[in-house]
Structure 1
């Protein structure tokens, strides 16, 4: 790869982009061969579309996530929604929230924006920090590697939930809570991706094309940018795809514990916090956010596993071999 780049620069021509395009085509072909991953991708795309179109959807319903409707709850029974199935009707497609009468559909779709947005933002922070420190540790001298590796070990050993609870409790409430939750998760939970990137970078350093780039006079960071980062794309994308559902669960847990997103901003974890005492009187108030959270985490996990298989030719080969053996056994 480096020799081709050096030769192309010397000849004043560009590098043939076909290998990269061929790799992308192979990735999409492998991903399309996995039906579960395609279904998961469709579910994730639908959830993202719902989150982005939350204002439009609530406008079609004629509701918003913060307006109280006290006339729609029975105060004599403790705030249970009036009507069948939690007040479901033409004006409130999924019913209303107990005690407050806020529209459940509006809070659910706006909660998707918060939960998915926090998880994606936290994942970006984790990837940026993890890749930067992992590559720096692998390319630095022995002292830099030891220092960054020990620091990463400390971060990995720190209990995420306890540290997040402590940090979220001391930050002023005036700070935007979704942004704060994303930053806290991202700044605490980057250790594992840094260790993966460091190990992969150490392996890539020993390959011939990296040695050729070093002999051609390229600097350390030019080698990292041109030769190592493309080789790190597959493991980083795979791990990032698996980080998103984990971060959604962490955000939901923090909101459930009361230190995450604060009312009136809706999130699925916050809705579960308030629903734990209403599961008998208004079961949809518990089942709707719990079902949305479960479907999102499951779809993202299946999609992440599909991306891992599509990016790893050895895994794809093992799948083909296993499928071939099954067909032979049936024949």
Structure 2
């Protein structure tokens, strides 16, 4: 066999799963763009105290009374109280992104645990957990979140808990399906024959092979968490002023849509760009983690 024939074989053999994933992901231009945008937004949120030209509740007493349009001193204008809109959008990103990310991680952890137990043990455990999942799925999510938020008047921590504890059902169904399929594979039978415990088999052998769909579901849950937080804050049931979030900035701007539309434009654009970027990233991860691609 010639060296020319052996070269492609060696190249394919050198491809690790990580390299294959990276190559597939980089081919997805929208996903790469989404990752870049989210990275920039995350850095801006983290560095808001350094980047922001003013305090988020600082007021310019000379221009109070009427929102001011964008200018060199105030890149996104000011609100009625003389507060810099650019500063408040930056600080709002800290809360909105944190709520979206933390609630997605919480719902993923809970959904993964429920789905893993149901898919691995099957039988009575599966029936009980899946019927519980069905019951929670039957409850309209937004009205329930609005009810709980209205009763508790949540801070950031409570808001993360409410969104996370009410958003795990899709992940649970997904993980259950993965575990039902993987528990019959040869490597699981081999581990069981060697005396591996149930916990070791579930979380050391099966779970790593189910991480692809879980990662994609987590990514998409971040966008859902941001949207839900924004909706609650817009209705006045989320994080309360003076702490800015993109949602309560929109709530405040709703009374100035005619005379000061820029107050709603910039936080609305941030929500749109973030959710689109998250969805593009999720699509790219799904394609890159699909072994058939």
Report the TM-score when normalising by structure 2: 0.92
Q: What does residue 229 of structure 1 align with?
A: 207
Q: Quick one: distance in 1 between partners of 2:170 and 2:275?
A: 20
CA displacement, residues 28-67 of structure 1 (integer Å, 9 cap, x when unaligned):
1111111111111111111011011100001xx2x11112
Q: Quick one: distance in 2 between partners of 1:25 and 1:80?
A: 52
CA contact (8 A) 1:44 1:300 kept: yes
Q: Secondary structure at the match of 2:236?
A: coil
Higher RCO structure, 1 or 2 (CA under 8 Å, sep 6+): 2
User: Is the aligned partner of 1:217 residue 2:195?
Assistant: yes
CA contact (8 A) 1:115 1:248 kept: yes
Q: What does residue 16 of structure 1 align with?
A: none
CA contact (8 A) 1:127 1:240 kept: yes
Q: What does residue 322 of structure 1 align with?
A: none
Q: Secondary structure at the match of 1:262?
A: coil
User: Is the aligned partner of 1:67 residue 2:58?
Assistant: yes
Q: Quick one: distance in 2 between partners of 1:304 and 1:203?
A: 23
Q: Quick one: distance in 1 between partners of 2:202 and 2:268?
A: 43
User: Is the aligned partner of 1:253 residue 2:231?
Assistant: yes
CA contact (8 A) 1:155 1:189 kept: no
The alpha carbon displacement at 1:151 in A equals 0.5
Of residues 21, 25, 30, the one that matches 1:31 is 25
Q: What does residue 288 of structure 1 align with?
A: 266
Q: Quick one: distance in 2 between partners of 1:30 and 1:281?
A: 48
The alpha carbon displacement at 1:87 in A equals 5.0
Of residues 147, 161, 164, the one that matches 1:183 is 161
Q: Quick one: distance in 1 between partners of 2:42 and 2:111?
A: 25
The alpha carbon displacement at 1:269 in A equals 0.7
Relative to structure 1, the CA distance from residue 141 to residue 44 in structure 2 (aligned partners, 3 Å threshold; closer, same or farther) is closer
What is the total number of aligned residue pairs between the two structures? Answer: 280
User: Is the aligned partner of 1:127 residue 2:108?
Assistant: yes
User: Is the aligned partner of 1:53 residue 2:47?
Assistant: yes
- Please identify the structure whose Cα radius of gyration is greater: 1
User: Is the aligned partner of 1:145 residue 2:126?
Assistant: yes
Q: Secondary structure at the match of 1:282?
A: coil
Of residues 70, 77, 83, the one that matches 1:95 is 77
CA contact (8 A) 2:67 2:81 kept: no
The alpha carbon displacement at 1:69 in A equals 2.6
Relative to structure 1, the CA distance from residue 199 to residue 270 in structure 2 (aligned partners, 3 Å threshold; closer, same or farther) is same
The alpha carbon displacement at 1:313 in A equals 2.2
Q: Quick one: distance in 1 between partners of 2:207 and 2:90?
A: 37
Unaligned ranges ≥5, structure 2: 1-12
Q: Quick one: distance in 2 between partners of 1:80 and 1:49?
A: 28
Unaligned ranges ≥5, structure 1: 1-18, 317-331
RMSD, aligned CA? 1.5
Q: What does residue 320 of structure 1 align with?
A: none
CA displacement, residues 176-228 of structure 1 (integer Å, 9 cap, x when unaligned):
x1111111000011011001101110000111111121122211111012211
CA contact (8 A) 2:116 2:176 kept: yes
Q: Secondary structure at the match of 1:136?
A: helix
Q: Quick one: distance in 2 between partners of 1:141 and 1:231?
A: 19
Report the TM-score when normalising by structure 1: 0.82
Q: What does residue 10 of structure 2 align with?
A: none
Q: Secondary structure at the match of 1:313?
A: coil
CA contact (8 A) 1:89 1:95 kept: no
The alpha carbon displacement at 1:141 in A equals 4.8
The alpha carbon displacement at 1:290 in A equals 0.5
Matches within 5 A, 1:182-201: 182-201=160-179
